[in-house]
Amino acid sequence: MKPGELFYFNDNFCRVERICLAQEITDMAEQLANKEGIGAAIGRIPSGVFIITAKRGEQKIGMMGSWVAQAGFEPPCISVAVHPDREIYSAIEQSGSFCVNVLSNENMNLMKAFSRYSPDQFDGVPHTETEYGLALDEAVAVMHCKLKSKCEAADHHLFIGEVVDGTYLNHEEAPMVHLRKSGFNY
């Protein structure tokens, strides 16, 4: 493109005023196309669906999450990604522990109960309190974790937990597998 030329962008005709502007627009269009491709690719990473729980004093806190992965063999560790604005973030920091409950396709009721924080989110949900968090009776499995470390990972932070206890609760149910349309939203 040259100064003075017309081009069509975002449903409008525009005139190139300077060469660098045209290059900036070209770069922006390429970045947008690249971001869409990146989002689609990241969204294809399969994950499970989990309810992460923690306690802050007598307060019970749960959060639905899907960014959980094994992070070590010896000692057995898992990583959980949590946005710092989530209620459970400070509870994990303060208590130094958390539980991860693995969900199945049969647990849609739990997904709804924990999609947003509410002080009464555990009402009517069968669970057992432990020193690490809360184990949901209907989960496929639960892992009780002692916080080992935390690190920043972009807009979310990773909590690394050493799994100090675990139970496979519902053998007849398979863990849920979740795929997203875009890796840039839940």
Asked whether residue 181 is assigned to any structural domain, the reply reads: no
Asked whether residue 178 is assigned to any structural domain, the reply reads: no
Beta bridge mates, 54: 61
The rounded distance, in Å, linking the Cα atoms of 39 and 185 is 9
pLDDT of residue 73: 97
Q: Are 38 and 54 found together in one domain?
A: no
Asked whether residue 174 is assigned to any structural domain, the reply reads: no
Contact 20, 65 (CB under 8 A): no
pTM: 0.81
Q: Are 147 and 91 found together in one domain?
A: yes
* Count of domains for the chain: 2
CATH code at position 158: 2.30.110.10
Asked whether residue 112 is assigned to any structural domain, the reply reads: yes
Asked whether residue 113 is assigned to any structural domain, the reply reads: yes
Q: Are 31 and 88 found together in one domain?
A: no
3-state secondary structure of 35: helix
Query: What does each of the 186 residues of the chain score in pLDDT, given as a tens digit?
Result: 555 565 555 556 555 555 555 666 666 666 666 778 888 888 888 999 999 999 999 999 999 999 999 999 999 999 999 999 999 999 999 999 999 999 999 998 888 889 888 889 999 999 999 999 999 999 999 999 999 999 998 899 999 999 999 999 989 999 999 888 888 877
Q: Among 106, 167, 179, 171, which Cα is nearest to 133's?
A: 167
Q: Are 136 and 61 found together in one domain?
A: yes
What the block records as the tokens of 20 is: 């660098």
pLDDT of residue 184: 80
Identify the domain containing residue 133 by its residue range. Answer: 50-168
Asked whether residue 138 is assigned to any structural domain, the reply reads: yes
Asked whether residue 108 is assigned to any structural domain, the reply reads: yes
